[in-house]
Chains A and B, each alone.
Chain A
């Protein structure tokens, strides 16, 4: 760790030969920098082809009148963007924010509470933690199926249990209620997410100074004071990181919303990702989908900017 290989000017091939005699150098004249670049090159090419170019080109399409099923395209400037703005843009943004916030905060609260509980030094903690990680690893599609079945309006176990307990007379159909549908996708996403947050928080809790906790106790501080003055401040970085990353990911989440509600009823659970997908691959309007993407990234750039400004450096 003491010394990293230093960048060398291309001209100093002779300096290389001091380290590696000419007869043992595979390709003579290749400097360390050139080797380093050669190693990273395939990944960069792939990055350009599947990530960078598609991102830029997809946004660029937003400036054209272009269809997926008709050939040809015509430059229309910001017309698509203005069209999207003039329709339900505010609603779209709000729904995305509601989902992203809910699906970030709810699992965070569950996971934080759980991490605090598990950190008490309970017997079988390791096994419990392992089992609790399961929801995170299941395919999102399978997670959606599980909750679809539980909330099924005809034979779902939730309706059955509530009726059995006498809490409802008629079966609930969450898929016809806008806010209940939103709640469903948030609960299902929270179920899938909380294990990951829990692991992060547990890692953070393990780094909390025992000496500090002890010191507050000796001064007569109770559980709440210890939590407020020691635990919470030392977790600040990790809390910020986890919340912001989750927010970013939920902002673009697609599969569970699509499988659970298809953005319905009406447009009640249609977020940016669902809107863009439907516009591009069901209405075949690529120009307009690109415009949705432009506005989406514009809104998304706010948390991204926050992250780069205040983000925990350790995660980079």
Chain B
């Protein structure tokens, strides 16, 4: 089934003729299998988009229609006319943005140190940061809640930003360390031998090289922060709430949720991460860092 089969002369391989005869069938089987999986992968998304533009009275019809007969954008309009939802969106943008920015700065310094310096305990630090992926969020939340309560930080954006660091700090450190590892040490050595100060090395030499990595790490952190549910559900009230818990509380509390509206809101909630993800595509496929992408 590998590509090499196609280029080999038939005479070399005894089973060649048999394989050639079976090939059209195989091609079809291949495509059928792909189609089934693609259906599984994409149907839920298709159904979300379709439901979000279906007029309310048609949504609950039987049998369900898989092709739109009438299209409306009223559910999207409703989202932007609901003050609570808009507030959640502003909170989401603010908190995820600041989290991404802060996490990238702190972890870039750390990653530079871990990647380009040798000192005792360096390995332990890396292992410690890596192992934090196993700390259950729900467990950390007990102490984080008490801690923020003590300092009067409950129901503030800062509480969310700090709690998001539990996953963005290890994530960005590993993305950035992977990135710094690809930068030759000679670049830094050369600057140092030329007599450049450490500060100059970091800002003038390293920063420009590291910038693409920092953007990637920042987008990663933004996505993870945007998608958080448990911290924003617990640490803040209605005024600081972000979109994920906001949608759950707004829509799932009722006896029968307003599905077309919820699907429209879900679509809107997904747009920022989809855009960030598209910007990241190249990075995802080429330099995926295994240990750093807790899903």
Given contacts A134-B45, A196-B295, A241-B290, contact A259 B185 (CB under 8 A): no
Given contacts A43-B169, A113-B33, A122-B34, contact A33 B117 (CB under 8 A): yes
CB–CB A289/B117 < 8 A = no
CB–CB B119/A155 < 8 A = no
Q: Of B2, B127, B131, which is in contact with the most chain A CB atoms at under 10 Å from its CB?
A: B2
Q: Does B209 contact A (CB under 8 A)?
A: no
* Interface 0/1 of B264-295, CB less than 8 Å to A: 00100110011001000100110010110111
CB–CB B119/A33 < 8 A = yes
In Å, the complex CA distance between A53 and B144 comes to 9
Bin chain A's interface residue count. 35 or more
Q: Does B227 contact A (CB under 8 A)?
A: yes
Q: Does B91 contact A (CB under 8 A)?
A: no
In Å, the complex CA distance between A248 and B199 comes to 40
Given contacts A58-B143, A254-B230, A280-B141, contact A316 B117 (CB under 8 A): no
In Å, the complex CA distance between A142 and B257 comes to 14
Residues of B within 8 A of A161 (CB): 63-64
In Å, the complex CA distance between A249 and B290 comes to 13
* Interface 0/1 of A122-158, CB less than 8 Å to B: 1000001111111111111111011111101011010
CB–CB B106/A316 < 8 A = no
Q: In residues 208-247 of chain A, which contact B (Cβ within 8 Å)?
A: 210, 213-214, 217-218, 220, 222-223, 226, 241, 245-246
With both chains docked as a complex, state the minimum distance between the C-beta of A56 and any C-beta of chain B, in angstroms.
8
Q: Of A54, A136, A147, A191, which is in contact with the most chain B CB atoms at under 10 Å from its CB?
A: A54
In Å, the complex CA distance between A5 and B134 comes to 32
CB–CB B3/A133 < 8 A = no
Interface residue from B119, B138, B169 paired with A7 (Cβ < 8 Å): B119
Residues of B within 8 A of A226 (CB): 1-2
Q: Does A105 contact B (CB under 8 A)?
A: no
Interface of B is mostly: helix
Q: Does B152 contact A (CB under 8 A)?
A: no
CB–CB B139/A249 < 8 A = no
Q: Which of A19-27, A74-82, A83-91 interfaces with chain B? A: A19-27
Q: Kindly list 18 other residue pairs between chains A and B, CB separation below 8 angstroms, not including A7-B118, A40-B125.
A: A4-B117, A26-B199, A39-B109, A39-B112, A40-B113, A120-B2, A122-B34, A137-B277, A138-B273, A140-B229, A145-B48, A146-B48, A154-B256, A192-B295, A193-B295, A226-B1, A245-B291, A277-B138
Interface residues of chain A, those whose CB is within 8 Å of chain B, are 1-7, 19-21, 24-27, 30, 32-33, 35-37, 39-40, 42-44, 46-47, 49-55, 57-59, 61, 68, 110, 113-114, 117-118, 120-122, 128-143, 145-150, 152, 154-155, 157, 160-161, 163-164, 191-196, 199-200, 203, 210, 213-214, 217-218, 220, 222-223, 226, 241, 245-246, 248-249, 251-252, 254-255, 258-259, 272-273, 276-277, 280-281, 286, 289-290, 293, 296-297, 300, 304, 312, 314-316
